[in-house]
Amino acid sequence: MTVELSSEVRDALLLEADQAHPRECCGILLGGTEAIDGLVSARNVHSLPETHFEIDPQALVDNHRTARSGGPQVVGYYHSHPNGLAEPSATDRASAAHDGSIWAIIARGKVSLWRDGDDGFAPLPYRIRER
């Protein structure tokens, strides 16, 4: 399955990663089963934000509650790898929930998407939907 990623979301991900450097940015992806239409930036509350991320738990609770009330659906999460590759790290693989969520990873001016499935991360092809 190919997912549509809005150009606005792609641009926001790249900008946020650039602005957070040398720390990891992180947040929540919003959309549907075949499209990512929005994002919610969240504080990285990890004690080592230069090499790890932890999405502010309150942001997670608030956005899942909004989704259950008919608001934008949470389809996944994103974070950056300031000094790495746009692919899941060993830490990402160890902490993944294997729940089918989409992960966007931003590194060196590139955004990659991954599906966190039962067998771990699989690359998720996407196309950009222009404004």
In tens, the pLDDT along 3-61 reads 999 999 999 999 999 999 999 999 999 998 799 999 999 999 999 999 999 999 999 99
Alpha-carbon dihedral 24, 27, 30, 34, rounded to 10 degrees: 30
Element (H, E) at 112: strand 110-117
Give pLDDT tens digits for 79-126.
Answer: 999 988 999 999 999 999 999 999 999 999 999 999 999 999 999 999
Check which CATH number belongs to the domain holding 90 and give it. 3.40.140.10
Q: What is the pTM of this model?
A: 0.96
Q: Give Cβ neighbours of residue 79 (< 8 Å, ≥ 6 apart).
A: 24, 25, 26, 27, 44, 53, 103, 104, 105, 106
Q: Give the chain's domain count.
A: 1
Contact 99, 116 (CB under 8 A): yes
Structure confidence at residue 12 (pLDDT): 98
Domain of 7 in residue numbering reads as 3-129
